[in-house]
Structure 1
Amino acid sequence: MSAHLIDLVPATLRRAWAADGTCPDLDLYSLFRARRVAAPDRPAVVDPAGTLTYAELDLRVRAVAAGMRELGVREGDVVGVQLPNGRDAVTAELALAALGAVALPFPVGRGPGEARSLLGRSGARAVVAAGHARDLLAVAARLPTLRTVIAAGHEPPPGSESWERLLSASPAAFVPARPDPDAAARILVSSGSETEPKMIAYSHNALAGGRGNFLATLIPDGRPPRCLFLVPLGSAFGSNGTAVTVARHGGSLILLDRFTPQAALAAIREHRPTHVLAVPTMIRMMLDQAGTAAPPPMTALVLGGAELDAATAAEARAVFGCPVVNLYGSADGVNCHGGLGHLPGADGGPGVLVGPPDPRVAEIRIAAVPDEEFGEIIARGPMTPMCYVGAPELNRRYRTAEGWVRTGDLGTIDEAGRLRLVGRLKQVVIRGGANISLAEVERAVAAHPDVREAVCLGVPDTLMGERLAACVVPRGGRSLTLGGLTDHLTVQGLDRTKHPEHLLLIERVPLTPAGKPDRDALRELIARSR
């Protein structure tokens, strides 16, 4: 059976957030259906196949939901979704919401081993996939709970069901479920720092309410947004797509099935989004290709998934002519940003200035940590997830009895009530017994005028245990030496014990399927270069 999903936030708090209007207290499909009734001809999805209106999308959703019900998918069942960005991914997520099932999206690119881990630990009953159905059929044979593999986008292999057949089911007789808004709607997947991907269960209210309130703060005129999602919808950042942009705000999703900087810039010019959601690496790649033509006006670039350096933020503001929002957030249950008026950059204080926490999204506190100058950031609020899935040890490690989430991040709240992110408890290199914060070094390296992007990491060493390496993308036409970099770090005031001992120059930072820097791939490049 599917994993038992409990809510570690006190029920009295959940009900209070619903009673005062902080959360809509409706399931995701009901929210989407209300948008469809109010504006049936509004574009819901724009992808390489064209444009789908809300009415057209709803017919697809109801057909797929009816077809899945015929296959035995029931309320509370977990169903994996491994689809590229596009109408099928949006349809699948809304169809599962209409059934009262729990969607488990994960990005295309995660291999059979990770898929088996996710589907097995969650107790998934079915999975929808494009291009990997044959591999997932082999996985299904070893997972007693996984009964159905639905193949999309190609001829279904023997033993699988056809996505096209689900789309051809009759939507007319389908009657949607009405799940409890505080019940699970989606499981977010985050690689984090664990040996296996973490899975975190979110309710309808936490997605549409807490995460929906985050996006609401970036919609100054209250009009339905047009959001270009460059991150995978199957990632944690991508959970702001179907549930938030469409169901909560009645907006339009602009989607590319594969990111390239050229395609992203073309989509901005053609589809004129109000918001672009991306990781900083994608924006740096786009800046290198942007040219001199001014892009159409936008409300904001919303960047998350990795730390944003001041130089990239300033250049992006100048090139795209809009605010750049530096989003601090994670699948584990924290979200904070400075808003449309904040200018990311150095201000003389410790770490990175994020902004004031929003209690309609997540209240944030700082908990003392022994032997640390700064405390650990903990969060609790309307967006707080229910629990970790299939990992009770993570619930014991990262959740408190009162429902607070321990983020593993170090920070402080300044006199103005603004959160400052200083580093991570785990993201350190231990060189000869001394801890070196990767975040601190990355910020100093990124400030070098010849550096476009920097990722620092530890590499094994027989003498010191670990040594620090810097992987650097130089700015166009420029180069860099290790000596020149360490001279810069000395001027920056970074202690010499924290200077990188290896420098690897690369053309671009490799990304994981979720769009984050792939540190394992970088370690392999360093090993080969040495």
Structure 2
Amino acid sequence: MYLNTASVTGRRDCVNNMMIDYKTFNSPELISNFRQKGYWPGKTLNDSFEEAVRNFPDKKALIQDDRVVTYKEFKRATDRLAAGLRRIGIDRGMVVSVQLPNCIEFTYLQIALARIGAIIQPIHMPFRSYEVESQLRFCEASAVVISPEYSGFNYMEMIQEIRPKLSHLRSVLTVGGRISGNDFYSIEEMCETGSSDETSAKEEQIDADDTLLLNFTSGTEGNPKGFLHTHNTIVAHSGRTAKVLGFRDTDVFLSFSPMTHTFGHIITYFSVLSGGTIVFVPKYDPAESLRLIEKEKITYMQGTPAHLIGTLNHANYVADNLKSLRMCFTGGSQVPTKLVKQLRDEIGCHVVNAYGQGENLIHTMGSTLWDTDEKMFSTVGRTMIGTEIKLVDETREKEVPLGEVGEICFRGPSLFIGYFKNPELTAQTRNEEGWFFTGDAGYLDDQGYLHLSGRKKEMINRGGTKIYPLETENLLHFHPKIDRVAVVGMPDARLGERVCAYIVTKKGQALTQEEVADYLNQHKVSRYKIPERIELIPEMPLNPTGKINKLQLTKNIADKLIEEGKWQTE
């Protein structure tokens, strides 16, 4: 089974016996350009890791609670783990699923699996039997790594329940608990007591075009897709990003995003490529985060705007205790102006806003390091060196003029090689010139800055007028009574859709639809964009990666209208 439909031939990588051409939809000219300009330097994750170990053997690499691991100890543990994985039959091209919170062992697995050429496949912690079984079956995972019990849930019972249904699942590995039984193994025991002799005896030459990561989209479209990255597409990209942002070996990294999500997953690459230190927070907690920033002198912090807002709004927040921070990396959309100003003016911290998807990591990036306030607050930045974007109309064949909304297309060396087991979808989202159609909408200004309008599928069609929710949401974020807001379309018999806003108010605040309308009118918002209904809720429904689940909100308002007799499905 092939992921490519292009006529380009070349070296093929094997993922669970499925042949994948890394040149999928990249022309020979593009690939030659990536190599000649150093965008694909031909280095694997293990190459970069070995270099960090040589340069910083006794430096702190990993910190979790009272555990401190130096780079030398990091290498010893991952050498043993790689040997242990091979000993139980895990080898090149096999998929190993990992359902763990952010922890040291997750990082060990990233390095060890990359070293033997196996593919890491993260599974979100909130997933239960239905989702986990489906994902393990789809990926044909040879092994799965879990915490036997975490946050009140018994993951071992879940795996034991679904394992008989998965003939390809050879082994279950655990972190944080010793489990006896056939084909059950402890990661800690492998790392602590194993031997690395078998690794060197069976060393293979892992290529930078080998598949490194199989991960899934957030599922906001209702149909999560498995995307594949190689060492070249993801590690080389992380190295360029680290260089652009000036990461150094004195940096101490803290990520609030789960390592099962691509944004959180790459924290390891950032740190290893710069010789820095990672501090782990298994589960986001604003009070604990504030404590760790002060204690460990965190210099670099990353997370969604919601993570950062929650931390800075906590009762324990004291700006002077966070002066070690020199950079905050966030993304997804325009960062709220208030958040940027608070980080910059109160703490003295630069803010980086990266907009992208798992498929290509970063479309564009903006920063207070180099952008004006006007650009930082109204755009999602410009493309990184070596990457390109363009905006096309609904036919996907014609570029739209500057200032006109179109679908965002991306091309560059960090683009994924294809969707796992879905060559048809790969073909639908790529063209022969190497452009990837993102499904997002926006427009470019005359300076090359991208203004994000939102997901095409989130667009509200009100009587033929297109409304992108992001613009209204960004304005309402500044309403003094509003904590969080999500704008969705609600069905309407006459117009097709109308605008509805789901709102979480700040503690103790009441809010009416009239107040919302008045506020938007004061900002001279077009009348058709103003919500015609608001729903006040105690908290936003989130998907496993921390994004607002708009599908759930859209269904909720449709169900409410049906109950009220204002809408019928037939």
Given the two structures, how large is their TM-score scaled by the length of structure 1?
Answer: 0.90
1:253 corresponds to 2:281: no
1:182 corresponds to 2:205: no
Q: Which position in structure 1 is the counterpart of 2:450?
A: 419
Provide the secondary structure at the position in 1 that maps to 2:165. Answer: coil
CA distance in 1, matches of 2:59, 2:325: 19
Identical residues among aligned pairs (%): 28
Provide the secondary structure at the position in 2 that maps to 1:301. Answer: strand
Choose which of 325, 339, 358 in structure 1 pairs with 2:367: 339
Choose which of 119, 129, 134 in structure 2 pairs with 1:112: 129
Cα gap change, 1:346 to 1:457, in 2 (>3 Å): farther
Q: Which position in structure 1 is the counterpart of 2:41?
A: 24
CA distance in 1, matches of 2:287, 2:342: 18
Choose which of 485, 495, 516 in structure 2 pairs with 1:485: 516
Q: Which position in structure 1 is the counterpart of 2:295?
A: 270
1:236 corresponds to 2:262: yes
1:102 corresponds to 2:119: yes
AA paired with 1:161? F
CA distance in 2, matches of 1:211, 1:418: 22
Q: Which position in structure 2 is the counterpart of 1:353?
A: 379
Q: Which position in structure 2 is the counterpart of 1:5?
A: 20
Cα gap change, 1:263 to 1:434, in 2 (>3 Å): same
CA distance in 2, matches of 1:442, 1:342: 26
CA distance in 2, matches of 1:406, 1:352: 23
C-alpha RMSD of matched pairs (Å): 2.8
Equivalent runs, 1:183-222 vs 2, <5 Å: 183-219=210-246, 222=248
* Conserved? CA contact 1:324–1:343, under 8 Å: no
1:415 is displaced (CA, Å) by 1.8
CA distance in 1, matches of 2:105, 2:253: 17
Provide the secondary structure at the position in 1 that maps to 2:110. Answer: helix
* Conserved? CA contact 1:366–1:378, under 8 Å: yes
Aligned residue pairs, count: 525
Provide the secondary structure at the position in 2 that maps to 1:408. Answer: strand
Cα gap change, 1:508 to 1:312, in 2 (>3 Å): farther
Q: Which position in structure 2 is the counterpart of 1:147?
A: 170
Q: Which position in structure 2 is the counterpart of 1:321?
A: 348
CA distance in 2, matches of 1:174, 1:437: 53
Cα gap change, 1:520 to 1:509, in 2 (>3 Å): same
1:284 corresponds to 2:312: no
Choose which of 191, 195, 209 in structure 2 pairs with 1:170: 195
1:409 is displaced (CA, Å) by 1.5
CA distance in 1, matches of 2:181, 2:492: 49
Q: Which position in structure 1 is the counterpart of 2:252?
A: 226
* Conserved? CA contact 1:140–1:147, under 8 Å: no
CA distance in 2, matches of 1:519, 1:195: 10
AA paired with 1:95? A
CA distance in 2, matches of 1:147, 1:2: 16
CA distance in 2, matches of 1:106, 1:217: 30
Structure 1 unmatched ranges of 5 or more: none
Deviations 1:176-225 (A, max 9, x none): 432110121111321244433221111101112123212321126x4453
1:109 is displaced (CA, Å) by 1.3
Structure 2 unmatched ranges of 5 or more: 1-15, 149-154, 565-570
CA distance in 1, matches of 2:168, 2:244: 41
* Conserved? CA contact 1:200–1:388, under 8 Å: yes
Q: Which structure is larger by alpha-carbon Rg, 1 or 2?
A: 2
Q: Which position in structure 1 is the counterpart of 2:60?
A: 43
1:64 is displaced (CA, Å) by 1.3
CA distance in 2, matches of 1:161, 1:73: 13
1:258 is displaced (CA, Å) by 0.6
CA distance in 1, matches of 2:83, 2:393: 51
Q: Which position in structure 1 is the counterpart of 2:76?
A: 59
1:500 corresponds to 2:531: yes
1:385 corresponds to 2:416: yes
1:25 is displaced (CA, Å) by 1.3
Deviations 1:324-360 (A, max 9, x none): 212111112143112342568666x9x9412221233
Q: Which position in structure 1 is the counterpart of 2:4?
A: none
Q: Which position in structure 1 is the counterpart of 2:479?
A: 448
* Conserved? CA contact 1:2–1:145, under 8 Å: no
Deviations 1:265-285 (A, max 9, x none): 111111112210100011111
* Conserved? CA contact 1:2–1:122, under 8 Å: no
